[in-house]
Structure 1
């Protein structure tokens, strides 16, 4: 069963509309509370790596936002922003896109095979990826607008930075919610079934 982000029946579960995952989708969450994950005998290298990647994505996204905010607050100038912004943003977006591609093509199909009750949850996560990608594209467009505006006179560059910041904030807000929900499906599943079926 595929979850479409456009289906009205799943509107409440669409990323940005939902407040976490319902218990019937994250059905292992109660058995494996987040605070106990690392203490479980099945918590291994893959689970640890997964959480590290998510922590890195959160950090990279926040670093880009902090940099642009420093420019908006006149703590750095246009030259300093341009020098740091492009590599930071490119690194973040490339890591995010790569992570989602690996999940969709490699890991999510394996999770679906572990228990048929997981199918709807991982279909939902894939729908999240599609929605996040749309926001990623919009963020890139506003980033280009910001870079083009850095040499413009007056307040043009700061207006472009404001526009970028609004778009990037939407992306990061959705991403943070998605990562938390994904962890509540992925890590309990690893603890329940072990990591071997996923490698």
Structure 2
């Protein structure tokens, strides 16, 4: 059975990205308030994008017969576990530590925060479906290779969903959060 997911397609409204014009993305790394903690947070986002892409590319490689099923299963186990575990940890930290700090510094953050927190809830559902599908594909790699390829097709669909979700969510999150950090000189 295929799970269906509702992903937010539109970017955050302009009024929620209230400091982005004052602190455009292309100036962040030269701003004196752009510190290591913010670089690490953005680096985690880049890692999530790369790992999600790697999973999709590996799955395409399997389905195109460019990768052996055993190699795919090992890589899916490693990269899938990495992506799911780290995203859950990252979002938990944001929800319980990082976002409350930003909210206290600038209450205008709260409108965007509601959208980001709903994204986290929605992404949890997608990651749960991905985990179930990936685990089935990994098990079937040794039990029934023909069914493993069928399950890998579902892994591909779900990995594309994750990639699209992360593209929208992480970009919006960055464009809301980093300007607040720079404006209020947080995370120093």
Structure-2-length-normalised TM-score: 0.91
Report the counterpart of residue 113 of structure 1 in structure 2.
Answer: 104
Pair 1:155 & 2:141 matched: no
Return the match for 2:25 from 34, 37, 59. 34
Aligned-residue CA RMSD (Å): 1.6
Return the match for 2:75 from 63, 75, 84. 84
Cα distance change on mapping 1:17 and 1:126 into 2, 3 Å: closer
- Deviation, 1:149, is 2.3
Pair 1:193 & 2:184 matched: yes
* In structure 2, C-alpha distance between the alignment counterparts of 1:68 and 1:128, rounded to whole Å: 25
Structure 1, unmatched stretches of 5+, are 1-14
Per-residue CA shift, 1:12-68, capped at 9, x if unaligned? xxx733421111111111111111111111111122111111111111111121111
The worse-fitting range, judged by mean Cα deviation, of 60-69 and 29-38 is 60-69
Pair 1:102 & 2:102 matched: no
Structure 2, unmatched stretches of 5+, are 1-5
- Does the 8 Å CA contact 1:46/1:195 hold for their aligned counterparts? no
* In structure 2, C-alpha distance between the alignment counterparts of 1:30 and 1:81, rounded to whole Å: 44
Q: Secondary structure at the match of 2:70?
A: helix
* In structure 1, C-alpha distance between the alignment counterparts of 2:152 and 2:18, rounded to whole Å: 42
* In structure 2, C-alpha distance between the alignment counterparts of 1:154 and 1:140, rounded to whole Å: 19
Pair 1:24 & 2:42 matched: no
The worse-fitting range, judged by mean Cα deviation, of 40-49 and 129-138 is 40-49
- Deviation, 1:87, is 1.3
Pair 1:67 & 2:55 matched: no
Pair 1:46 & 2:37 matched: yes
The worse-fitting range, judged by mean Cα deviation, of 181-190 and 56-65 is 56-65
Structure-1-length-normalised TM-score: 0.86
Q: In the comparison of the two structures, how many residue pairs are matched?
A: 183
- Does the 8 Å CA contact 1:82/1:147 hold for their aligned counterparts? yes
Q: Secondary structure at the match of 1:150?
A: helix
